[in-house]
Amino acid sequence: MAIYKLFPYKDTSLYSMYSTMNTGIDPINQVSNLNFAVNTSPSVARSLINFDTTELRDVLNNKVTGIWDADLKSFIATAQGIVEDSVLEIFPIYNSWNQGTGTYLDQPITTDGSCWDSPQFGDGNAWDIGGSLLGYTSSYDATYAPQGGGSWYISSSDGSTTYPTTQSFGPRTDKDLNVTITSMVEDWFSGSLPNNGVIIKWENNAEFNTNRQVQPVMQYYTVDTNTIYPPELDIKWDDSTWDTGSSAITILNQPNAFIDLAENPGVFFSESINRFRVNCRPKYPARVWATSSLYTKQYYLPSGSAWYAIKDLDTDEYVVDFDSNYTRISADASSSYFDIYMNGLEPERYYKVLIQVNNGSSTTVYDNDYYFKVVNG
């Protein structure tokens, strides 16, 4: 498939109230502004996520063809206090940082990695403050917190791109983080910015806010979660082709159809790439005089108007949703087909494939129990 999922090699959260605490292997990342009744000082938390540069360059150099996009996704564990429209900001991080081995519940606290005060354990250096003229900055409120809480770029090195990327949340909106950070990844890939990952924070007017009515808290699963919801960076590109050769082909042009998947042994290794071929024909073919069965004739899905999606069989959630640009189905001289990189699917789980077809007059989704399992290897 033309969606390749990368998972972080490190992430953590920074807490202004516990400014030396490291939470590098905690299963939860937190972004929050809290006002405790016993403490008039607001407490702020921000999250850091980093994806491996070598893996990123391998994907962009050796797998991607043509124009691509990059989406950062982080999945919500709990959310509270979103009583008004609130905005999360995502910046590229300026300082390199250590993940550490702490969790939020450690007693005594673990101090062997990045924290509010410092990006590196034991070197005595604080996060750089920067300034707009330097192209990077930080923000904190000296009344309520020590200097720190990360530092981040506010523009690319040539000034052509400004940051942050943002996502707005309301009381009734989906709380998963899903933002396009293509420009940021392009800067990392080109080397114009070092890849130190991203920092996720509330916009300035929601941080260190003493209003008890403004206490947004978002807790997201980390790479150390025991769930199937670690953060991910989705690299997406259009790998579809349409080259059926010189032979005449017949296009499926009606919604009443049988659609089945070939080349599906049912079990795939997590590091494999599989090509699924699509067998399709009308459910009720017109009767004609012929010397062969109408039910063995190969039909093709319409060019540019058929897509696939993948759902987790247990949760019934889309792992890869239909995308008009990036899950388009291809065709060659044999049949319609699509490819899937299995690395982006959690191993030891079952999945099912759905096919969506637009035949000009209607759009139909075919959910015919096309199951497969991904295993480690």
Quote the tokens at residue 147: 């200097």
CA dihedral 109, 114, 119, 122 (to 10 degrees): 60
Confidence grade of residue 124 (pLDDT, cut at 50, 70, 90): confident
Cα–Cα distance measured from residue 310 to residue 145, given in angstroms and rounded to the nearest whole number:
45
Q: What is the pLDDT of residues 325-346, one digit of tens each?
A: 999 999 999 999 999 999 999 9
Backbone angles phi, psi at 309, to 5 degrees: -145, 160
pLDDT beyond 70 at 296: no
CA angle, residues 141, 146, 151, in degrees to nearest 5 = 75
> What integer best gives the mean pLDDT of the chain?
91
* Strand-strand pairing, 86-92 and 198-202: antiparallel
Separation between Cα atoms, residue 104 and residue 28, nearest integer Å:
9
Q: Which whole-number Å values give the CA distances from 354 to 357, 369, 372, in the listed order?
A: 10, 8, 12
**Distance between CA atoms of residues 193 and 214, nearest Å:** 34
Q: What is the pTM of this model?
A: 0.92
Q: What is the dihedral of CA 14, 15, 18, 21, to 10 degrees?
A: -20
CA 239, CA 61: separation in Å to the nearest integer? 14
Q: Which helix (H) or strand (E) holds 58?
A: helix 53-62
Helices and strands (DSSP H and E) totals, the chain = 2, 23
Instruction: Please give the pLDDT value at position 287.
Output: 66
User: In sequence order, which ranges of 98-226 are alpha helices (DSSP H)?
Assistant: 182-190
Q: Give pLDDT, residue 292.
A: 58
Residue 302 has pLDDT above 80, yes or no: yes
- Residue 130's pLDDT band (boundaries 50, 70, 90)? confident
226 or 124: which leads in pLDDT: 226
Question: Mean pLDDT over residues 38-56, rounded?
Answer: 90
What is the DSSP-derived secondary structure letter of residue 20? T
Task: Note whether 17 and 55 are within 8 A (CB).
Answer: no
Contact indicator for 302, 358 with CB cutoff of 8 Å: yes
Residue 260: both structure tokens together = 């089945």
Residue 177, pLDDT above cutoff 60: yes
d(CA 194, CA 167): 23
Lookup: tokens for 44: 């702020």
Burial zone of 93 (CB within 10 Å; 0-12 exposed, 13-18 middle, 19+ buried): buried
Nearest in space to 92 (alpha carbons), one of 164, 182, 17: 164
